[in-house]
A and B are shown apart, each in its own frame.
Chain A
Amino acid sequence: QKEVEQDPGPLSVPEGAIVSLNCTYSNSAFQYFMWYRQYSRKGPELLMYTYSSGNKEDGRFTAQVDKSSKYISLFIRDSQPSDSATYLCAISSAGNMLTFGGGTRLMVKP
């Protein structure tokens, strides 16, 4: 079993929809949670970062962490075609390396 699991998609939604992207993880020591966005043929870029459980909002993006369920989510409101990309969750514990999920490909259709 992988330490971090992510549905590969693709997830296709119409413009304006609310998107929910999710990851599950197995190591309860993880306490730093990140979402990276990767456009086609580009390097990943950090989108959101959260520490421990709770929510964090940044514009149209909300990151949610539920440590009791070992489940993290990224919500995108009012999705735009420019949001079409692969979204990677990344998790770490203090003193350890980042562990990435396999990525979910999102397509937002005009």
Chain B
Amino acid sequence: NAGVTQTPKFQVLKTGQSMTLQCAQDMNHNSMYWYRQDPGMGLRLIYYSASEGTTDKGEVPNGYNVSRLNKREFSLRLESAAPSQTSVYFCASRGGIYVGDTDTQYFGPGTRLTVL
């Protein structure tokens, strides 16, 4: 039982390049999330998926797109990377469907992205 896995662990991009961050969970969870973490800013929600087939914007969605490929996988795409997107990206999953439910959110190990 691996929990939440993310690939890649590290990535360096040039401005304007695109890439997709992959996330998968093996806990049969309904809800999945993408956050970014910047120094002193805490975790900020980019997008979330309450259940398979649905996605919604979070606090900071500009410059990102997401795909809930199936119940296990939730990917985050940067179409044209900018230096402001340099950050650590975390994927999380939770058993509940209702966003306000307080089931534990389980986090992946993160992807460290640098955009030059």
Contacts and interface: CB of A to CB of B under 8 A. Distances in A.
Given A43-B109, A43-B110, A102 B41 contact: yes
A4 B100 contact: no
B66 interface: no
B40 interface: yes
Contacts, number: 55
Interface in A78-110: 88, 90, 92-98, 100-103
Contacts of A4: 42
Interface residues of B, number: 22
Residue with the greatest number of chain B CB neighbours at <10 A, chosen from A43, A98, A102: A43
Contact of B100 (A8, A32, A43): A32
B67 to A, nearest CB: 20
Interface residues of A, number: 26
Interface of B: 4, 40-45, 48, 58-59, 90, 92, 98-100, 102, 104-105, 107-110
22 contacts: A4-B42, A6-B42, A8-B40, A34-B102, A41-B109, A43-B108, A44-B90, A44-B107, A46-B104, A46-B105, A51-B102, A92-B102, A95-B99, A96-B99, A96-B100, A97-B45, A97-B48, A97-B99, A100-B42, A100-B43, A100-B44, A102-B42
